[in-house]
Structure 1
Amino acid sequence: MRPLFVAALLATPAFAQDVVLPAAITAEGIPAIPAALAAQIRPYLEYRSAQFQDWDPQSRAMLVTTRFGGAAQVHRVSAPGSDRAQLSFEGEPIASARFSPDGKTILVTKDVGGGEFFQLYTLAEGRLTLLTDGKSRNTGATWSRDGRRVGYTSTRRNGADGDLWLIDPADPKSDRMVAQMQGGGWSFADFHPDGKTALVSKRSSIERSDLYAIDLASGRLTPLTPANATASYQNARYAPDGTIYVTSDVNSDVQRLGTLDARRGFRPLGTATPKWDVEDFDLAPDASFIAAVSNEAGSSVLRLIAPATGAVLGTAKLPAGVITGLKVAPWGSIGFSLASATSPADAWSLDPNSLATTRWTMSETGGLDASKNREPELITVKSFDGLPVSGFLYSPDPARFPGKRPLIIDIHGGPESQTRPGYLGRTNYLINEKGIAVFYPNVRGSSGYGKRFAGLDNGPSKREDSVKDIGAFLDALTARPDIDATRVAETGGSYGGYMCYATAIKYGDRLKGAICARPISNFVTLLENTESYRRELRRVEYGDERVPAQRAKLMAISPLTHVKDIKIPLVVVTGSNDPRVKPSESIQMVDAVRAGGGQAWHLIAANEGHGYQKKENQDYEFLTRLVFWDRTLLK
């Protein structure tokens, strides 16, 4: 019998006692999962979200991506609250969708099997037309203002370097390389109103990115930022008069909004967020205002800023949550996605004149009342060296689950990332129905707390300091009267997967089990095997395995070196097509744990990459997690 989706299986409980594996999943050592468990949690599997992508210049509709089948597809929403009309019908998720400035063409990006070798397509009448070579990695597609060209970055020349290309989507034969570059951190930022030049960015690390103007005819680059300066310039935009607006941490610990020119450098605008990063912004087409989003203790705040003075023109009244995908429409409306503890990501708009906010989509939550979800508590502790570190604790309802509760610590990846108070999706089941507290730490090296904090884990000699931060959180959390210190477990993904292993090694005597997804087991083999377009960026963060002293230290801190110290049960989750942390990282660790007599379940998806995106695989992974927590944390 062909493997059934969980949803299909639930329709015939009389004929099946166990959930059948999805077609692409291999489950090594994982016990059978009862169909009754899948039926019990089904509402928590059936939520969806809607990610704002763009405005339709012709109809003033929204373009969003959302999932009604197995993977997210492009939909048009003609008005607030109206139906989502599906436009793409692919088996793979659509990563992004953008209208041309005239609204006649939709440009989308999509990969296959999570491999992140994205291709560019046009979308019309439900069909995709390939624009790129179908093999290389193509990213950062940016429309020119007249809609006649798209700038993007491609690795097609040698698989490693991100060269700059131009194409007219109406004429695929127009595709040409504008400039041959070195390194994988290049991208188009914006086109000048005159159409002759564009802004391009070179990202070397979270601490450094540089801006250039490129002549589109000759490919000649003109630096706009100082050479050899440790500073980051992000989100660059041209105003109609050619003024460059950008965020930068020049002479600051955080990203500030300002203007840039080659002669006078960066000049900050007087925004009201000196303590927090301005993480995104967009400029009104007539330059009458700037819509700017700041990350304030993890929550997004959307303000309108006067371009000339930096004065705050108004602040949007929105639920506490996280804003993504900000874009100002040609007529001035501001579109974005907003996710919060009580709502999955949905598409919203802001009227810049009245500051009225409108929710365009109301994504389903499996019939559950999401307003009952618990808001997180911000926890701040001092680590081993006195550094304040913080995170968000989601606690069960004490009226339903009194007394000391089991705890899962969930460590984010990156490390240049940040866990923020958004929608927890399936994890809400653990809190609402199983009475498990879930804590999301932001250890040193996380973004959102300034560039100094983000750099505190750089290099192999500082890497384990972030692991010690977890020890400080363990001390503080297990001392609380509502946490059961004898029932604590952990999980993490990607770099958080390294943290998951490292925490199991250092603090395993305080833990019941660990689920480590797409984890780094050996920093040397990670750097040797990760896709070449990523390698230099990762060496800046972790260290250079080609340098003997750094190689030795990287080996010394790698979890695989200390595998004998892992005494708790593990689950390892892997995507076969992962370009970042290759499957070999998981395989070598699972083999080593088993060789030493330890327990390691291994879940492998043949059609996924760095994180599961297809619903049937996501559902099965979560069911596996539930069975594991039941056998370890809750027994």
Structure 2
Amino acid sequence: EELLFQQDGNNNFAAASKDGKQIVVSRSGTELSLDNNLYLIDAVTKKETLLTPHTDASSYGDVDFLPDGKTIVFTTDQNREFTTVATMSLNSDKNETSPENASKIQFVNTGIWDVENIEISPRGNDLAYTVNLEGFSRLVWRKIETGGDPKTSDVDKNLTIINLPAKGIVGGLNFSGDGSKLTFTFNSAKNNSDIWIWDLKQKSKMQVTKSDRAGISQDSFVEPELIKYKTFDSREIPAWFYKPKNFVGSFPVIVSVHGGPEGQERPGFNPLYQYYLSRGYAILATNVRGSTGYGKTFTHLDDVRKREDSVKDLAYAVEWLKTSGSADAKRIAVMGGSYGGYMTLAAITLYPNLWAAAVDTVGIANWESFLKNTSGYRRRQREVEYGRLDRDLDFLRRISPLAKIDKIRAPLFVIHGKNDPRVPYTEAEQIVAALRKRGGRVEYKLFDDEGHGVSKLKNRLELYPLVADFLDRNMK
């Protein structure tokens, strides 16, 4: 065992050349959110070379070496709105590494949607990746041409779009050892996740696994509709609208907010949504500003001082539900986990008259205590998105839901795991204690054997009927 590289930052292994002489490391930025750099480490000399100098917030990921051993392929959104496939030549013919020998990034394709999940076949002659089209996946296969003297590798401009079982989400790309087949996982609103195989020669697909649905009819599952609503600054906010089956008239609605905030609500298989739908609730799963998948500008619209603009997007979601979504205006709840838990608490403090109920799972109630108590490795990562304690403390205190506890009108259900390393359970303790002190309506479930979320089956089977019953008491 040998120490090849050490640096006091957030570093992650990204790729290694086949001969083991070159290693690419990804290092997170310390001033901007969704920002990192790639560094080339010479395993012999231990020399470090910055590959991706830039000034704006840019991301680089899914790194791999091409067969020539001196070119890497990766995804990036440098100088553009969406991530795309790119290549970069690393060194000269003399196999030296220096900034002068690092050529400019070569973009393999351009588009208006993010490229994800790059995978190269073991022989290095095939490339697969997915494209995120407003939440749905497109699976793409391209050839890699290698030849010449000296040997070079290039990604073919032609591409094949692989036919999927339905409109859904693809992940877990992996080529077989001989490169003749590509495996991937697929799920959709009506299909729980299964493994599929694509035969590159036959251009045919085959389902390998058949996940159990516990006897529940697939026909009972609801597919969402993609809707877009105008918000306060005339931007369009995308959301997935699930309607309960066989419902007549206006219905109660759960407005769901994803975590992150650098995340995206996508139309995959969500058993919890299907459970609430079976209990008669519609769901509006939002992608408010700050979500990924809609371009770099959109993702950064909630950074630091713009934090509460994203909460305003939730208020406009309610307006859309009342005017276009057949919702009962008096029966709208808000629900979210992690950062979505913060959004839930922020929604019921900033817009207290809009909500009939709220459910906060492992959410942030107090930005100051959260940043002080979260795991050390995460603090600076989160400060570049939320604000820094040494620079923005007054602002962080001002926007904390705990500081506006007197505004809360809706009954609240708080859920947390005692072993949460990301959002300490003391966030839940603070909001619950403050509400109980002023006589607020709050229910609290703390799991001693859970962390950042509720993952154990026995706990989920206990919890979610309790949540649904809570909603029934306050919305039906």
* TM-score (structure 1 length as normaliser): 0.69
Aligned to 2:309: 465
Secondary structure of the residue aligned to 1:556 is helix
Task: Give the conservation status (yes or no) of the 8 Å contact 2:279–2:468.
Answer: no
Aligned to 2:99: none
Aligned to 1:297: 134
Determine the C-alpha separation between the residues in 2 that align with 1:620 and 1:607: 13
> Which residue of 296, 302, 312 corresponds with 1:451?
296
Matched, 1:196 2:21: yes
Task: Give the conservation status (yes or no) of the 8 Å contact 1:343–1:370.
Answer: yes
- 1:218-257 → structure 2 map (5 Å cutoff): 218-226=45-53, 228-242=55-69, 243-257=71-85
1:341-366 alpha-carbon deviations (Å, 9 max, x no partner):
11111112212223312211111111
For residue 402 of structure 1, report the CA deviation from its aligned partner: 1.2
Secondary structure of the residue aligned to 2:475 is coil
> Which residue of 601, 604, 623 corresponds with 2:465?
623
Matched, 1:362 2:190: no
- 1:264-413 → structure 2 map (5 Å cutoff): 264-270=103-109, 274-307=111-144, 308-318=154-164, 319-332=166-179, 333-397=181-245, 400-413=246-259
Aligned residues, how many? 451
Amino acid at match of 1:300: S
Aligned to 1:261: 89
For residue 287 of structure 1, report the CA deviation from its aligned partner: 2.6
Secondary structure of the residue aligned to 1:485 is strand
For residue 284 of structure 1, report the CA deviation from its aligned partner: 1.8
Determine the C-alpha separation between the residues in 2 that align with 1:413 and 1:481: 24
For residue 230 of structure 1, report the CA deviation from its aligned partner: 3.1
Aligned to 1:590: 432
For residue 568 of structure 1, report the CA deviation from its aligned partner: 1.1
For residue 554 of structure 1, report the CA deviation from its aligned partner: 0.8
1:83-116 alpha-carbon deviations (Å, 9 max, x no partner):
xxxxxxxxxxxxxxxxxxxxxxxxxxxxxxxxxx
Aligned to 1:66: none
Amino acid at match of 1:364: D
Aligned to 1:612: 454
For residue 206 of structure 1, report the CA deviation from its aligned partner: 4.8
1:197-253 alpha-carbon deviations (Å, 9 max, x no partner):
211111226531111111234543221111545321111100121120011112210
Runs (4 or more) in structure 1 with deviation over 4 Å come to none
Secondary structure of the residue aligned to 1:211 is strand
1:307-354 alpha-carbon deviations (Å, 9 max, x no partner):
335434311111111112222222222122111011111112212223
Determine the C-alpha separation between the residues in 2 that align with 1:371 and 1:218: 61
Determine the C-alpha separation between the residues in 2 that align with 1:411 and 1:229: 28
Amino acid at match of 2:269: Y
Secondary structure of the residue aligned to 2:105 is strand
> Which residue of 244, 266, 284 corresponds with 1:439?
284
Indicate the larger mover: 464-473 or 279-288: 279-288
For residue 633 of structure 1, report the CA deviation from its aligned partner: 1.5
Task: Give the conservation status (yes or no) of the 8 Å contact 1:336–1:348.
Answer: yes
Amino acid at match of 1:198: I
Matched, 1:497 2:336: no
Task: Give the conservation status (yes or no) of the 8 Å contact 2:33–2:57.
Answer: no
Task: Give the conservation status (yes or no) of the 8 Å contact 2:252–2:331.
Answer: yes
Secondary structure of the residue aligned to 1:468 is helix
For residue 596 of structure 1, report the CA deviation from its aligned partner: 1.0
Amino acid at match of 2:66: A
1:356-409 alpha-carbon deviations (Å, 9 max, x no partner):
122111111110112432211111011101111111001112xx2111111001
Task: Give the conservation status (yes or no) of the 8 Å contact 1:570–1:600.
Answer: yes
Secondary structure of the residue aligned to 2:321 is helix
Aligned to 2:149: none
* TM-score (structure 2 length as normaliser): 0.92
Name the % identity.
35
Matched, 1:600 2:428: no
For residue 481 of structure 1, report the CA deviation from its aligned partner: 5.8
Aligned to 1:211: 38
Matched, 1:509 2:353: yes
Task: Give the conservation status (yes or no) of the 8 Å contact 2:22–2:42.
Answer: yes
Matched, 1:187 2:12: yes
Task: Give the conservation status (yes or no) of the 8 Å contact 1:206–1:232.
Answer: no
Secondary structure of the residue aligned to 2:262 is coil
Matched, 1:581 2:423: yes
Amino acid at match of 1:551: L
Gapped regions of structure 2 (runs ≥ 5): 91-101, 145-153
Pairwise CA RMSD: 1.5
Task: Give the conservation status (yes or no) of the 8 Å contact 1:315–1:355.
Answer: no
Amino acid at match of 1:213: L
Amino acid at match of 1:292: Y
Secondary structure of the residue aligned to 1:178 is coil
Amino acid at match of 1:533: Y
> Which residue of 353, 356, 363 corresponds with 1:519?
363
Task: Give the conservation status (yes or no) of the 8 Å contact 1:347–1:361.
Answer: yes
Task: Give the conservation status (yes or no) of the 8 Å contact 2:65–2:72.
Answer: yes
Determine the C-alpha separation between the residues in 1 that align with 2:366 and 2:276: 31
Matched, 1:423 2:265: no
- 1:148-167 → structure 2 map (5 Å cutoff): none
Task: Give the conservation status (yes or no) of the 8 Å contact 1:206–1:416.
Answer: no
Q: Per residue, is there more helix in 1 or in 2? A: 2
Secondary structure of the residue aligned to 2:329 is strand
